[in-house]
Structure 1
Amino acid sequence: MHDWMIWLVAAGVLVIAELFTGTFYLLMIAIGLGAGAAAAQAGSSGPVQTLIAAVVGLVATAVLHRSRFGRPARRIATRDSNVNLDIGQRVAVDRWQNGHARVMYRGALWDVELGAGALPEAGDYRIVEVLGSRLIVANS
């Protein structure tokens, strides 16, 4: 078996492992192994092939890490509408008592608190955060 075939088989194994784990870092290392295969096809020696594979894999990993795909979003789950579908929904408040109220929302009574900068007036409010069984709202 030729050297370039070994590199490509190793890259294929990493691509398959990446499909099972969902991490792009294994894919970046597989790109490095593909570069090692290209170096082997060009006739480079074993140490040069390994060096090229390592450098390309490290550079690809560094580029991925600096991109938006390499870091998880730093969002607060209580305010993220992708996590909680109540964020952004409307709720009607009839009256306030010291910045708190009770409202019927989704067929149940909920405690409602005013968010930062919200005014305690009767009317419609937009849910900006959910803390347990409390809805934090802002003026709509």
Structure 2
Amino acid sequence: MSIWLSWLAAAGLLLILELFTGTFYLLMIAIGLAFGALAALLGASMSLQAIVAGAVGVLATGMLHRSRIARPRTNPARDRNVNLDIGQHITVPVWEQGKARVKYRGAMWDVELGQGAAPHPGDFKIVEIQGSRLIVSDS
């Protein structure tokens, strides 16, 4: 088997593994291996092939890490598209040191005040959910 086919076989194996993991990092390394195959096809020495494959893999991985794809765009605890409870209203009858317990959707929840909210009995809007705690603000 030609050395360039070995590079492509390794890249294909990483592509298959990437499909099982769902990350793009293995894809970037597979791109580096494909460039190693290209270097082999062009007749470069084995050490130059490895340098090309490594350099392209590292550069592609670094570019992916700095891109928007690698970072979540919003905080899921505050994103209404992720959690439909964000923006809903609850009634808090009594506060005790900035905390309360209320029944919401058939279960008891801990409620805490968000930034700038004052502890008074009445309606509040859910702005964030942290585990089993509802973070609320004034309506």
Q: Which category of TM-score, normalised to the shorter sequence, fits these structures?
A: 0.7 to 0.9
Paired residues of 2:78 and 2:129 also in contact (CA < 8 A): no
Q: What is residue 47 of structure 1 aligned with on the other side?
A: 47
Aligned mates of 1:3, 1:132 — CA distance in 2: 53
Segments of 5+ residues of structure 1 without an aligned counterpart are none
Q: Give the match for residue 70 of structure 1.
A: 70
1:117 aligns with 2:96: no
Note closer, same or farther for the CA distance 1:37–1:128 as it changes in structure 2 (3 Å cut). same
Distance 1:29 1:19 in 2: 13
The answer to whether the Cα contact below 8 Å between 2:95 and 2:121 also exists between their aligned partners in 1 is no
Q: For 1:32-74, what per-residue CA distance to the aligned partner results, in whole angstroms no more than 9, with x for missing partners? A: 0000111112222222211111111111111112223335679
1:97 shift after superposition? 4.5
For residues 38 and 139 of structure 1, the distance between their equivalents in structure 2, rounded to whole angstroms, comes to 62
SS in 2 for 1:118: coil
Distance 2:5 2:133 in 1: 60
TM-score (norm 2): 0.75
Asked if 1:91 corresponds to 2:93, the answer is no
- Which deviates more, 15-24 or 82-91? 82-91
Compare 44-53 and 62-71 and name the one that shifted more. 62-71
| Range moving further from structure 2, 104-113 or 52-61 | 104-113
SS state at 2:91 partner: strand
* Of 96-105 and 20-29, the range deviating more from structure 2: 96-105
Q: What root-mean-square deviation, in Å, do the aligned CA atoms of Structure 1 and Structure 2 show?
A: 3.0
Q: Distance in 2 between matches of 1:17 and 1:63?
A: 21
Distance 1:115 1:9, change over 3 A: same
With normalisation by structure 1, the TM-score equals 0.75
SS in 2 for 1:128: strand
Deviation at 1:115, TM superposition (A): 2.4
Taking the TM superposition and a 5 Å limit, the aligned residue runs for 1:1-140 are: 1-71=1-71, 75=75, 79-81=77-79, 85-93=84-92, 95-97=93-95, 99=98, 103-120=102-119, 123-130=122-129, 134-140=133-139
Q: Distance in 1 between matches of 2:130 and 2:52?
A: 51
Q: Is the 8 A contact 2:124 2:137 kept in 1?
A: yes
